[in-house]
A and B are shown apart, each in its own frame.
Chain A
Amino acid sequence: MSSVEFRKDLFADERDDNLNEIGKPTIRQDIIGHVTGRSKFYDDHLFDGLLHMRCVRSPHHHANIRHVDTSAAERMPGIRRIIRPSDVPHNINTLLALINFGRDDEQLLSAGRVTYKGEPILAVVADTERQARDAVAAVRVEYEELPHVLDVEEALKPGAPTVNAEYPNNSFDYHDLYDHQKLRFGDTQAALAQADHIVEGTYQMSPIEQAPVETCGAIAAPEQNGRYVCHTSTQALFFSIGVTAKLLDMPSSQLHFIGGTVGGGFGGKVDSHHEPLAVLGAMLTGRPVKYMWDRTEEFRVGAPRGAERWRIRDGVMNDGRIVAREFTGFFDSGAYTRLSSYAIIKGTGHLPGPYTIPNVSSNVYCVYTNRTPATAMRGFGITGVDFAIECHMDKVAETVGMNPIELRILNAYRDGDMKAHRRVAKNCALIECCQVAAQKAGITLSPEAMAASSKEGGGIGWRAEVPETAIDDMGRIGDRRNREIPPEPYGGATQRGSVPAGTRGEAVVAAEVQDPDMQIDPTRVGHAVSQAVGQPAPPTPAPQSGAPIPAPVPAPAPAPTASAPPPIPAPSAAPPPQQPAPSAFAEPGAPAQPQQPYKPEKPFQRGVKRPGVSRFISGTRRR
């Protein structure tokens, strides 16, 4: 009955087929519980005296909380406790603090300000769900509405409302230095200048709700010896324990978490929001407490897959070879970071898709807007940009008048090719997938496309090399965040504040022309192409030319490094000759010296224990 077709004829010599499970139908070990209805989901645990929790939520995208009046709600029947932000022992966290990534930016219950519609500010615990709902409706909150921003590029413009106080420029700080995640591989500016066609496109996807049939929730109850048991729908049990321990400032040995039976998650059950509130409710009332989203909350405040906007600019030759690809990405994180910062790291490692393109650059922004915070969902960080890349491949095929499948086969990565993130591609299978797909769809491919193989033609010459890639004077790729650039000459006080960087304030079609230190400078190149490796067909006249633009490009007489550098917009001057270039980068003509890998002068800030907060969880230092 399986609809999976195994093509054992492909890569037969690379695979051991004597496997016991893979490729064979297997009955799930928990299936009997599922078909008899006996599998215990979190809500299938009954407790005497169970109390119910509901949250008071912001009706505004962005507002200051002027006044909260709970007096009427407190007098209503069945109300056991109204939990306020001040009841949360350590009311600040970010999900990835547990792996020291990003700064704490989100409260469990928000005090002072709300930054998205549905943000929780109070939790009401009552005998019945009905009573809790009535009490939530009886809480009077006085808001002062603030201007909000819902579009990622609007949020990056000067003067846009600050969404997230921890990141006042509305963008996540990568490596504590950049307002975007960057990828540089080769020199896209030079390659675009030589391409036959420039193909540009903008792709926008919408947020997507995971919509599990079981809504998110947790039930917590006091156990003996000061411990709390918590049945939860979480997909990330140990994440949830860590987050709960941190927010409630208690050792995780007091937490007895039970999960693993999840009624559909798809990424939407990793945010660890229910467990801390349910445990806090159990602590404050001494009773079992259930905090369960209803369907409306699941859709309205449940974190979706974040929307992404991608701009792609390709340099394409007449024969369909893509010689350069630039990306500008805007990832809508919503009001808080959660996992979006990480999704972008993941997505950047995926660029430029499963294709071997010799020049790739990318700037991706993790942008804060007054939208529901985004989180994980099946392949998040990859699927959005893949949607953009594959749409764009069709556009490229249309431009050069090629069959889109043949275009993909022509540009597909092959075993041994160097990928833009400096890993060698192996076990590639895109070409074979394209060939099988074409056969299934009844599309006739050219004999060359049908003869192509992932195992042939890869890893040769420029395809195996990391091309010359510009680095800045600190040995890093790319332009540094403007606010971090010290005024010249070097050594002055660091500029701080909201200074336009990247696309800020401008309509940008694709990755901007880089700062002066991004121009390839023979005295400051990162990875030189080995001249020993055979170059593709026509020899380039300039022997030191490492520009990996393959085959029949009319090679420019001088090295592409010298060809018409784009106008330099930034006021910060081009690198002066006496600038502190690492000595390992030899002067032109000087005998080549072995390059020293870049080493920072002081270690990166990692794992700094913050004084005065949780004794049990370390995190990065706040600034």
Chain B
Amino acid sequence: MPKTPIRFTLNGAETGVFANSGANLLDVLRREAGDLTPKQGCAQGGCGACSVMIDGELHLACLTLAETAEGRRIDTVASLETGARLHPLQKAFAEGFAAQCGFCSPGMIMAAKALLDTTPNPTREQVAEAISGNLCRCTGYEPIINAILTAAAELRGRGAA
């Protein structure tokens, strides 16, 4: 089977893989690049568990042709962590019981990050809208929304300091 060489920046690091032609970005990230943080829940764009940022925009990796990532900047939830310190979003999720089984959390946090990057002071409705493409079956939407608002406040405070 012919393979296609693809180069991209994954979580700040130059990365090159050989991908099967027609492979989706989710499989390439997980199997070839070894970043297991995006999850496969439905492989048809329905659940949001594979949400990643491509050039700063939220995308569903399972619906993205891997070849289109050539030369792009891809960020997953693994980009948030800086050493032992958690990103305010991760901290708020952990402390606010915004994760139960944890399977939707990586995609959920990326959806939240995409919102806060453009809207530092979101309303509750904007937060609900931003995560509306991400399913949580343990049904923790309320704590998730609360956590995102908490993280937004902390990020704003940090920016002011």
Contact mask A185-226 → B, CB, 8 Å, 1/0?
000000000000000000000000011111100000000000
A507 contacts partner chain B, Cβ-Cβ < 8 Å: no
Contact mask A16-58 → B, CB, 8 Å, 1/0?
0000000001011011111111111101101000000000000
A295 contacts partner chain B, Cβ-Cβ < 8 Å: yes
Q: Chain A: which residue is nearest B20 at the CB level?
A: A128
B13 contacts partner chain A, Cβ-Cβ < 8 Å: no
A213 touches B103 (CB 8 A): yes
A37 touches B106 (CB 8 A): yes
Least distance between B132 CB and chain A CB atoms (Å): 15
A36 touches B77 (CB 8 A): yes
Interface residues of A in 161-182 (CB under 8 A from B): none
Q: Which residues of chain A are within 8 angstroms of B101 by Cβ–Cβ distance?
A: 34, 212-214, 262-265
A1 touches B43 (CB 8 A): no
B95 contacts partner chain A, Cβ-Cβ < 8 Å: yes
The contact of A213 among B1, B77, B93, B104, by CB within 8 Å, is B104
A37-B105, A46-B31 known; A213+B94 contact, CB < 8 A: no
A213 touches B102 (CB 8 A): no
A585 contacts partner chain B, Cβ-Cβ < 8 Å: no
B97 touches A25 (CB 8 A): yes
Q: Chain B: which residue is nearest A299 at the CB level?
A: B42
B135 contacts partner chain A, Cβ-Cβ < 8 Å: yes
The contact of B36 among A3, A27, A37, by CB within 8 Å, is A37
B81 contacts partner chain A, Cβ-Cβ < 8 Å: yes
The contact of B41 among A28, A37, A215, A265, by CB within 8 Å, is A215
A35-B105, A37-B106 known; A211+B137 contact, CB < 8 A: yes
Least distance between A443 CB and chain B CB atoms (Å): 25
B44 contacts partner chain A, Cβ-Cβ < 8 Å: yes
Q: Which residues of chain A are within 8 angstroms of B39 by Cβ–Cβ distance?
A: 41, 43, 213-214, 263
Q: Which residues of chain B are within 8 angstroms of A32 by Cβ–Cβ distance?
A: 86, 94
B9 contacts partner chain A, Cβ-Cβ < 8 Å: no
A213 touches B137 (CB 8 A): yes
CA gap between A28 and B95 in the complex, in Å: 9
A46-B34, A213-B136, A295-B44 known; A263+B103 contact, CB < 8 A: yes
CA gap between A27 and B38 in the complex, in Å: 23
Contact mask B58-98 → A, CB, 8 Å, 1/0?
00000000000000000011101100001001110111110
A69 contacts partner chain B, Cβ-Cβ < 8 Å: no
Q: Which residues of chain A are within 8 angstroms of B109 by Cβ–Cβ distance?
A: 35
Contact mask A567-609 → B, CB, 8 Å, 1/0?
0000000000000000000000000000000000000000000
Q: Chain A: which residue is nearest B47 at the CB level?
A: A213
A239 contacts partner chain B, Cβ-Cβ < 8 Å: no
A266 contacts partner chain B, Cβ-Cβ < 8 Å: yes
B36 touches A44 (CB 8 A): yes
A35 touches B86 (CB 8 A): yes
Least distance between A15 CB and chain B CB atoms (Å): 24
A294 contacts partner chain B, Cβ-Cβ < 8 Å: yes
A33 touches B102 (CB 8 A): yes
Q: Chain B: which residue is nearest A266 at the CB level?
A: B137
A213 touches B41 (CB 8 A): yes
B137 touches A264 (CB 8 A): yes
B129 contacts partner chain A, Cβ-Cβ < 8 Å: no
Q: Which residues of chain B are within 8 angstroms of A36 by Cβ–Cβ distance?
A: 37, 77-78, 80-81, 86, 90
Q: Which residues of chain A are within 8 angstroms of B40 by Cβ–Cβ distance?
A: 43
Contact mask B6-20 → A, CB, 8 Å, 1/0?
000000000000001
Least distance between A261 CB and chain B CB atoms (Å): 8
CA gap between A431 and B109 in the complex, in Å: 42
Least distance between B16 CB and chain A CB atoms (Å): 18
A27 touches B105 (CB 8 A): no
Contact mask A395-408 → B, CB, 8 Å, 1/0?
00000000000000
The contact of B93 among A35, A46, A211, A266, by CB within 8 Å, is A35
A32-B94, A37-B36 known; A213+B49 contact, CB < 8 A: yes
A213-B136, A295-B41 known; A35+B103 contact, CB < 8 A: no
A264 touches B93 (CB 8 A): no
B142 contacts partner chain A, Cβ-Cβ < 8 Å: yes
CA gap between A33 and B89 in the complex, in Å: 14
Q: Which residues of chain B are within 8 angstroms of A25 by Cβ–Cβ distance?
A: 97
The contact of A1 among B38, B49, B76, B143, by CB within 8 Å, is B143
B137 touches A34 (CB 8 A): no
Q: Chain A: which residue is nearest B91 at the CB level?
A: A35
CA gap between A160 and B125 in the complex, in Å: 54
Q: Chain B: which residue is nearest A298 at the CB level?
A: B42
Q: Chain A: which residue is nearest B36 at the CB level?
A: A44
Q: Which residues of chain A are within 8 angstroms of B41 by Cβ–Cβ distance?
A: 213-215, 263, 295
The contact of A3 among B47, B49, B142, by CB within 8 Å, is B142
A41 touches B94 (CB 8 A): no
CA gap between A353 and B90 in the complex, in Å: 43
A295 touches B42 (CB 8 A): yes
Q: Which residues of chain B are within 8 angstroms of A214 by Cβ–Cβ distance?
A: 39, 41, 49, 101, 103
Please name 18 pairs of A and B residues whose Cβ atoms are closer than 8 Å in the assembled complex, sorted by A: A28-B94, A28-B100, A33-B102, A35-B77, A35-B109, A36-B77, A36-B81, A37-B36, A37-B37, A212-B137, A213-B42, A213-B49, A213-B103, A213-B137, A214-B41, A263-B39, A264-B103, A295-B41
A sample of 5 more A-B contacts (CB under 8 A), given A27-B95, A31-B94, is A27-B94, A46-B34, A214-B41, A264-B103, A295-B42
Mark A residues whose CB is within 8 Å of B.
1, 3, 25, 27-28, 30-41, 43-44, 46, 128, 210-215, 261-266, 294-295
